[in-house]
Amino acid sequence: MTRRIQYKIEEQHNGKCISMFLKEKEYSRAVIIELKKTKTGIQKNGTWAGVNEILNTGDILEICLTEQRSSENIVPKELQLDILYEDEDILVVNKPYDTPIHPSVNNYNNTLANGVVHYYQQQNKPYIFRCINRLDRDTTGVTILTKNLISASILSKRMKERGLSRTYVAFVEGITKEEGTIDLPIGREEGTIIKRKIDEKEGKHAVTHYCKLEELQVEGKAVSVVALQLETGRTHQIRVHMASIGHPLLGDFLYNESNHMLTRQALHAVSCAFYHPITGEYKRITAPLPKDMAMLMQRSSNESCDLVAKL
């Protein structure tokens, strides 16, 4: 894919060199090096320019990044994508459950990556798969992918610096407090590469905030619908944290083996909010509740509740 970006230099940037200007736009050193490799990578007023050249008010700085290869070892395979938003820089999809993000052993061609690579192959566009917020295989919802190195670099940096606000909805056992914060370290459980646990000695710092949206009665059992936001992004963080306070997720075979109300953990990435990496426009993208969780709502006394509207 080729991405061209134009900037008209304003008074506030007069006298700055191109390198400084691009760094203020959050271009990483690696991206600037990549742009310098071609004659069209960085141009000022239609002419090739070095990164040490000075910008003046009214100049037109054009950035051109061309990526001609696609992700290696990702087999294109048709997948019905639920696209929530797409432009020249990002693709946001509503990931279904039972769908891993990346190919791995025993998951060679049934992943979101396979479907997205196929989507762009059908448009005759090379595509390198870059996922910003990774979800567990059975967690559904908003998943942000980037379409070029520039947007990938900027959003990845913001993700690490908590510049992307992510909200999840979960159905958990019992009636929770109205709101709370769980600040407990998480580590790997001995003898397994998958399961995690609260580990006060060797675990990594993890913080989850939650608030109760609804109380349900499902099959005679009390269920709370909670919205959650993460300060950190540890593996299985929501699942481990909610189980640790006595409110495990419904259908979570790892941390709540006895609950079979759903066939997977009742966890959905309902929204993500961020400033666009290129335009700076504020974006808040939401994904409707998946069918299995929506059907569970219908089996309760609150079937008409619009959870997304409550967030």
Tokens representing 102?
A: 């990346």
Nearest Cα to Cα of residue 89 among 151, 34, 131, 132: 151
CB-CB contact of 51 with 12 (8 Å): no
d(CA 308, CA 311): 6
d(CA 139, CA 135): 6
For the annotated catalytic residues, the residue numbers are: 136
Rg over CA atoms, the chain: 22
Cβ neighbours around 109 below 10 Å, total? 14
Helix (H) or strand (E) holding 309: helix 307-310
Instruction: Give the count of alpha carbons within 13 A of 14, CB side only.
Output: 6
Tokens representing 162?
A: 């908590």
CB-CB contact of 86 with 127 (8 Å): no
Tokens representing 216?
A: 């349900």
d(CA 154, CA 56): 25
Tokens representing 94?
A: 């509503």
